[in-house]
Structure formats: C-alpha cells, structure tokens
C-alpha cells in the first residue's frame, strides 16, 4: 500500500478545520451508501473504503480512496486518489489518479467529500469494461515520485463513463 506519498503541505486553516469537522460529523451520522471512513486522528487525510455497487462490473470489489485536504479547503479542491490497487477503469490510471473534472477544473466549494464519493462511485458504476485508460503507461511514467494529480493538465473529453 502506498501510504506515504504524502505531499508536503501546509496545515489546515481555521476555516478548513471547521468545515472538515462538520463534514466528518455529518458523514458519521449519514455516510454515503457503499463507503466507509477509516477512522484516524488525521483530519487532513481521510482514507475511505469503496465497495462496488451491486449489479455493476465492480460489485463486491473494495478499493480505497485517499483524500488529502489543502490548507484552503474548500476553496481549493482536495487531492483524491485510489490507493493501490486502483480499480480497472478507463478513467483511472494504475497509479490511482482519477480523471474526473470535479476534482480539478470543475471543483466547487459547495461540494463535499460525500458528494465526491458519490461521483466516483457513479463513474465506476457506469463503466462498461474493466480496462485502463489508453495512455496509462505514458501518463504513469510521467508521474514519478508521487506527483499530485492536481498538477496534471487534465483533458476531460469523455462524458459517457
């Protein structure tokens, strides 16, 4: 498990801390279906277990999402990646990076961890084949040393999956 690809980042701001605590409380009261938050004392990094939705290609598979929050969350988007092994999906690279616009350009501060999770599960569920993106090898080779997916210039072109 690649747990220590921790980007050196600043501590959460006061506003970010307040908001995350609130999100955590709400998650505990009403977690999104198919997700389990792994309890840690680290508010800045959440590890979330994803269970593939029944009736989809990923039914009963479990994966782990790692969500890292920047200093100015929720103005800035969190960094969301799948921990190894990442699901086989045309928009998920083998290093765990996820090509999903709301995580980058289309981020809005009104989104929450919970809404991100639902988007990702929806993306998994609508996949029709378990396979890597066509440019997987090239991309992963360029992303050595635990580079953040937020530094990638993503190209969002496929809205079918």
Contact residues toward another protein (CB under 8 A) are 15, 18-19, 22-23, 26, 72, 74-75, 108-110, 112
Q: What would the two tokens of residue 79 be?
A: 């960094």
> Annotated catalytic sites, by residue?
99
The least CB distance from residue 73 to another protein, in Å, is 11
Select 4 or 108, whichever has its Cβ closest to another protein: 108
C-alpha distance from residue 74 to each of 68, 110, 124, 139 (Å):
12, 8, 24, 28
CA dihedral over 5, 137, 90, 159, signed as positive or negative:
positive
Select 10 or 22, whichever has its Cβ closest to another protein: 22
The least CB distance from residue 55 to another protein, in Å, is 30
The dihedrals phi and psi of 24, each to the nearest 5 degrees, come to: -65, -45
Select 6 or 156, whichever has its Cβ closest to another protein: 156
The least CB distance from residue 27 to another protein, in Å, is 11
Residues 80, 64 contacting (CB under 8 angstroms): no
Residues 83, 3 contacting (CB under 8 angstroms): yes
């Amino acid at each position: 498990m690649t747990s220590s690809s921790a980007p050196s980042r600043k501590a959460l701001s006061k506003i970010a801390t307040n908001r995350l605590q609130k999100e955590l409380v709400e998650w505990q009261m009403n977690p999104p279906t198919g997700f389990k938050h792994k309890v840690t004392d680290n508010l800045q990094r959440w590890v979330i277990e994803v269970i593939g939705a029944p009736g989809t290609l990923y039914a009963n598979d479990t994966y782990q999402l790692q969500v890292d929050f920047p200093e100015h969350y929720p103005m800035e988007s969190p960094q969301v990646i799948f921990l190894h092994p990442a699901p086989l999906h045309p928009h998920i690279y083998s290093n765990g990076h996820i090509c999903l616009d709301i995580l980058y350009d289309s981020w809005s501060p009104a989104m929450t961890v919970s809404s991100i999770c639902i988007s990702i599960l929806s993306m998994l569920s609508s996949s029709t084949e378990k396979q890597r993106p066509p440019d997987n090898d090239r991309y992963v080779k360029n992303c050595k040393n635990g580079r953040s997916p937020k530094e990638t210039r993503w190209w969002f072109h496929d809205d079918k999956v």
